[in-house]
Amino acid sequence: MRYAMAIDTKRCVGCADCVVACQTENNVPEGYCRDWIVEETIGAFPELQLEIRSERCNHCADSPCVRCCPTGASHYEEGGVVLVNHDECIGCKACIASCPYDARFVHPEGYVDKCTFCIHRVREGKNPACVDVCPTHAMIFGDVDDRNSDISKALRTRKYKTLIPEAGTEPHVFYLL
Amino acid sequence: MGKKLNRREFIKIAGMGAGGLAVGSSFLKPVSLFGQPVSKEKLLTSTFSEVTPTYCEICFWKCAGWVHKKEGKPWKIVGNPDDTHSNGRFCPRGTGGLGAYTDPDRLKTPLIRVEERGKQVFREASWDEAFDYITGKMNRIKEKYGPECMALFTHGSGGGYFKNLIRAYGSNNIAAPSYAQCRGPRAEAYLLTYGEGVGSPERTDIENTKCLVLIGSHIGENMHNGQVQEFTKAHMNGATVITVDPRFSTAASKSKYWLPIKPSTDLALLLAWINVIIEEELYDKEYVKKYTYGFEALKKAVKHNTPEWAYPITTIKPHVIRETAREMAAAAPAVIIHPGRHVTWYGDDTQRVRAGAILNALLGSWGRRGGFYAPSKAHVPKPKHPAYPKPSKGWRDAFPDKYPLANLALSSGICDATIPSTTDACSIKGWIVYGTNLIQTLPQPEKTIKAIQNLELLVAIDIMPSEITGWADVVLPECTYLERYDDLRISQGRMPAIALRAPAFEPRYNSKPAYWMAVQLAGRLGLSEYFPYERIEDYLEYRLKAVGSSLEEMKKLGVKNLPLEQELYFLNGEDYEFATPSGKIELYSDTLAEYGFDPVPRYKAHEEPPDGFYRLLYGRAPMHSFGRTTNNPLLTELKQENEVWINPKVAREWGIENGEYIRLENQDKVISNKIKVKVTERIRHDCVYMVHGFGHRQKQLHRGYNRGADDTRLITRVNVDPIMGGTGMRVNFVTFRKEVA
């Protein structure tokens, strides 16, 4: 089993619903977010392209944050989900420095926080909050080891990319193009 | 005069005719969207949290959803899967609706002004004091000037109670900025052409369309939930999207064709499209013959509107105009020239929207799959009350020969009628302003303030402090939609449905529901008989019982979808009588001709920005509803300020860098708040763009105060639509000021 997310840039309108749904679902404190929107414009007037992406922790298979964590607070959970054990985190920020995606922040309560793929929901058989709220159905969550999962099908039938692949971290958030 | 069809007549006709919109009130079983019976208990048992049904009040789309509490505390709001407005998925504003409840800046208790207007010096008052103050003044206005001299401005679910109150009191001066400052021209254009409006949510069958033409409609940035969902569906199904916009909007980025039109010339493009469709005989000949009136006159009128004629006006190349027209025809009748929503742009807006309506008719899309469907609406009776007194005058008397085809009151007109210099025929003396921040929603804010200075009573009812509450004599704090019942949501759609809003939380502070306020005021004014039920729960029970439901049932369902009793598509050869004078779709309008307007839309050039000035365009961001959310703790985090979009060529000329703050100065030397610059290829060189609703001047909005700039302050000029009085607001030009200190 390997959890992953695919985000369809053709569907995404950049409304940031995923951001606020994450904040309410996970009680993310004001001023912080676990996911965010990036808009990238390519070309010159009037020949333009716009790519809109919802970004978050990539739950990398070879995560520098897990490797560099001195206490083992950053660790892999079932399905390769990267989590931070709040009690073991000493707030040294090594993981923040190592993450090529700038996906982590220090929670005001003193530990490092980030996207959990809503593992508490996934364990109940639900999708992450961002996936379920998305008005344009731009996000797919699932098991890429299961050939019949929606995400596997999407990755077989659509072109996709990952962010900063050159970092070699094997990110597991895919962007459908 | 006799030919004019007013809205009441239309409703009567529609109710009787073949395409009748009303649905019987028989005892109906709920149906789910997927054909499965709805399990009443499913949501309650599937989670450990407490849930309460609501429909969202953060915008007018009113999506139904569930408010969740965890351990008794507010947690989250999610969409109701049975709701066709949201299909179970709220937009960011709905998801962030809890921020409206938690906002510490909320109005907390009634306030009575103690110093001169606008100084914002208030004393806290009890509800009794506030009501006595208001009713004392209202009685005096009635005695001295007549009840017609009270006016109501309204936006939002609670407005209905105050409409009832003000009608019972004896005035019909009830206006919503959503008419004259927003979609009024659309309503009149479609009424003139088809005898029916487009309504809300729009009856556009986007999910089944093969070609969608957007003229300035920035779907995706305007987060009209169901419509955005359908747009995505159509786009993913390979529909051709043609977006006409001076700006490379989100929708433009999803489009096969982006036509970066020169602002203010859209009507020329529409006429050129009509010309191509007619000249190349691409129109639906049978449909046009059977259902329309005035084709030959239209053909003659647009003869000269060739793509070559339109090119120098619009800057859209003739071959692109032809190619896009052919795309539309190839998809017909599954094609939609989107009627838009906020359409008060240049003052000829009814005519521009009508040109789109005519194009839809030529392509045969009205009443057809993938075009415009026949909306249904649940018919839910209201309890009876005595007839309203008949007002002897109204806002219209202040403008005897103007705006003959306005079917609703003009908020800008009522504002003008408050300034005594205009006329003495109906000078307004008191305003009740419910849920609308007139200083930001009406153009020419200095005029609004001038009108306010002439009032003997200004009551503002709102949840948040805003510019208008600062000018009020009495401020009444309403509780949020999460803390109150409201009337049922009964809006049009593909199927009739009702939705309930029940309180998830106790009202915070000393805030109260609008229904309660209206009942209290009615009691003090001796008008209690107009509110047969003192408690809204009893009122709701009455209405629900009439359709075979109850509060108890609706608390479990949230939304009840009722069976469809008519066909969605109704013009596939069937006989149909339109509610127009000719009984047909009017390509040529005798009504317009009779009033001295162009019976077929005609392009007239608009004023252009002088050297060094740029046309000011404004629009929406998906996470905000105008200025109403720009203090919401959850939503301001998503977007704290607006930016001014400037083309890189222009920015270079002025030495303006991306990310720096500047000010905008308009043609009347009004200078904006400082605003961050977004230098982007995504906009033409002759205009600038900003999102509306920022730059609050109300200091009690701690998050929104002084953040970004307010486009309304720069809208010191308007072009008024002579047909219906809409205020065209994209007629202001701005230049740049680099001093921001």
DSSP 3-state of A34: coil
Cβ <8 Å between A17 and B682: no
Bridge partner residues of B736 (DSSP): B664
Cβ <8 Å between B236 and A45: no
pLDDT of amino acid B11: 34
Q: Is residue B421 situated within a structural domain?
A: no
Long-range contacts (CB closer than 8 Å, 24 or more residues apart) made by B522-529: B522/B165, B522/B168, B524/B131, B524/B132, B524/B135, B525/B135, B525/B138, B525/B139, B525/B165, B525/B168, B525/B169, B527/B165, B527/B168, B527/B169, B529/B385, B529/B386
Main-chain phi, psi angles of B144, to 5 degrees = -75, -40
Q: In this structure, what DSSP letter does residue B448 have?
A: H
Q: Do residues B153 and B175 touch, judged by C-beta distance below 8 A?
A: yes
DSSP element (H, E) containing B78: strand B73-79
Residue A39 distance to chain B (closest CA, Å):
10
Q: Nearest residue of B to residue A135 by CA position?
A: B89
Per-residue pLDDT of B51-62, as tens digits, reads: 999 999 999 999
Mean pLDDT for the stretch of residues B540-544: 97
In chain B, residues with a C-beta closer than 8 Å to the C-beta of A120 are none
Q: Clarify whether residues B351 and B258 are in a common domain.
A: yes
In chain A, residues with a C-beta closer than 8 Å to the C-beta of B92 are 15-17, 19-21
pLDDT of amino acid B29: 41
Mean pLDDT for the stretch of residues B691-706: 96
Q: Clarify whether residues B224 and B362 are in a common domain.
A: yes
Q: Clarify whether residues B671 and B590 are in a common domain.
A: no
Mean pLDDT for the stretch of residues B211-216: 96
Range of the domain at B231: 181-375+569-594
Q: pLDDT band at residue B425, thresholds of 50, 70 and 90?
A: low
Q: Is residue B142 situated within a structural domain?
A: no
pLDDT of amino acid B49: 66
Q: Clarify whether residues B585 and B669 are in a common domain.
A: no
DSSP element (H, E) containing B169: helix B159-169
Residue B678 distance to chain A (closest CA, Å):
12
Q: In this structure, what DSSP letter does residue B675 have?
A: E
Cβ <8 Å between B228 and A33: no
Q: Clarify whether residues B214 and B336 are in a common domain.
A: yes
Q: Is residue B541 situated within a structural domain?
A: no
Q: Is B91 on the interface with A (CB under 8 A)?
A: yes
Cβ <8 Å between B90 and A44: no
In chain B, residues with a C-beta closer than 8 Å to the C-beta of A129 are 76
Task: Measure the CA dihedral A6/A11/A13/A17, to 10°.
Answer: -50
**How many percent of chain B have pLDDT more than 90?**
86
Cβ <8 Å between A50 and B220: no
Q: What Å distances lie between residue B275 and B266, B290, B310, B321, CA to CA?
A: 14, 20, 10, 10
Q: Is residue B219 situated within a structural domain?
A: yes
Q: Nearest residue of A to residue B249 by CA position?
A: A50
Per-residue pLDDT of B1-23, as tens digits, reads: 333 333 333 333 333 333 333 33
Cβ <8 Å between B223 and A30: no
Read off the tokens for A130: 């961002």
Query: Which one has a higher pLDDT value, B21 or B451?
Result: B451
Which among A25, A41, A136 has CB closest to B228? A136
- Packing angle between helix B318-331 and helix B266-279, nearest 10 degrees? 60
B281: left (phi over 0), alpha (psi -120 to 50) or beta: left
**Closest residue by Cα to residue B213 from B247, B182, B184, B255:** B255
Cα distance between residue B267 and residue B271, in whole Å: 6
In chain A, residues with a C-beta closer than 8 Å to the C-beta of B90 are 17, 133, 135
Longest dimension (CA), chain B: 71
Those of residues 659-688 in B touching chain A at CB distance below 8 A are: 680-684
Those of residues 214-243 in B touching chain A at CB distance below 8 A are: 220-221, 223, 225, 228-229, 232, 235-236
For CA atoms B480, B486, B490, B494, the dihedral sign is positive
Residue B672 distance to chain A (closest CA, Å):
27
Start-end of H helices in B258-396: 266-279, 285-291, 295-301, 307-314, 318-331, 349-362
In chain A, residues with a C-beta closer than 8 Å to the C-beta of B228 are 13, 15, 135-136
**Is the pLDDT score of B482 beyond 80?**
yes
For residue B668, the domain's CATH number is 2.40.40.20
A32, A42, A45, best to mutate vs chain B, most B CBs in 10 Å? A45
For CA atoms A86, A92, A94, A97, the dihedral sign is positive
How many beta-carbon pairs below 8 A join chains A and B? 114
Cβ <8 Å between B92 and A17: yes
Cα distance between residue B479 and residue B458, in whole Å: 20
Sheet holding A160-161, edge to edge: A139-143, A3-8, A173-176, A160-161
Q: Is B254 on the interface with A (CB under 8 A)?
A: yes
Q: Is residue B201 situated within a structural domain?
A: yes
Q: Is A13 on the interface with B (CB under 8 A)?
A: yes
**Is the pLDDT score of B418 beyond 90?**
no
Q: Do residues B44 and B556 touch, judged by C-beta distance below 8 A?
A: yes
pLDDT of amino acid B41: 36
Final residue of a structural domain among B594, B627, B654: B594
Q: Is residue B254 situated within a structural domain?
A: yes
**Identity of the amino acid at B340:** G
Q: Clarify whether residues B629 and B588 are in a common domain.
A: no
Mean pLDDT for the stretch of residues B114-126: 93
pLDDT of amino acid B8: 33
Read off the tokens for B116: 């001169």
Q: Clarify whether residues B590 and B694 are in a common domain.
A: no
Q: Is A135 on the interface with B (CB under 8 A)?
A: yes
Instruction: Give me the residue label for tokens 């985190």.
Output: A89
Q: Is B95 on the interface with A (CB under 8 A)?
A: yes
Cα distance between residue A26 and residue B343, in whole Å: 39
In chain A, residues with a C-beta closer than 8 Å to the C-beta of B96 are 20, 24
Q: Clarify whether residues B587 and B655 are in a common domain.
A: no
pLDDT of amino acid B397: 85
Q: What Å distances lie between residue A166 and A5, A161, B268, CA to CA?
A: 19, 12, 50
Q: Is residue B190 situated within a structural domain?
A: yes
Final residue of a structural domain among B531, B560, B594: B594
Which among A16, A31, A133 has CB closest to B623? A16
Q: Clarify whether residues B579 and B728 are in a common domain.
A: no
Cα distance between residue B80 and residue B68, in whole Å: 12
Burial label, B546 (beta-carbon count in 10 A; 0-12, 13-18, 19+): middle
Read off the tokens for B156: 């939002």
Q: Clarify whether residues B333 and B201 are in a common domain.
A: yes
**Identity of the amino acid at B638:** L
In chain B, residues with a C-beta closer than 8 Å to the C-beta of A136 are 228-229, 232
Q: Is residue B41 situated within a structural domain?
A: no
In chain A, residues with a C-beta closer than 8 Å to the C-beta of B683 are 45
DSSP 3-state of A38: strand
Cα distance between residue B640 and residue B699, in whole Å: 16
Cβ <8 Å between A48 and B682: yes
For residue B371, the domain's CATH number is 3.40.228.10
Instruction: Give me the residue label for tokens 């838009």.
Output: B340
pLDDT of amino acid A6: 98
**Is the pLDDT score of B721 beyond 80?**
yes
Q: Clarify whether residues B196 and B339 are in a common domain.
A: yes
Bridge partner residues of A50 (DSSP): A41
Cβ <8 Å between B220 and A41: no
Q: pLDDT band at residue B307, thresholds of 50, 70 and 90?
A: very high
Instruction: Give me the residue label for tokens 């026949």.
Output: B374
* Domains in chain A with CATH codes: 3-176 (3.30.70.20)
Main-chain phi, psi angles of B11, to 5 degrees = -60, -40
Spell out, as residue ranges, where chain A has pLDDT lower than 70: none
pLDDT of amino acid B89: 97
In chain B, residues with a C-beta closer than 8 Å to the C-beta of A17 are 89-92, 95, 622
Q: pLDDT band at residue B423, thresholds of 50, 70 and 90?
A: low
Which among A10, A25, A135 has CB closest to B89? A135
Q: Is B397 on the interface with A (CB under 8 A)?
A: no
Cβ <8 Å between A16 and B229: no
Mean pLDDT for the stretch of residues B398-422: 85
Q: What is the DSSP string of B171-231?
A: ---EE-HHIIIIIHHHHHHHHHHHSS--TTTT-B-GGG-SEEEEES--BTTB--HHHHHHH
Q: Clarify whether residues B629 and B704 are in a common domain.
A: yes
Domain count, chain B: 2
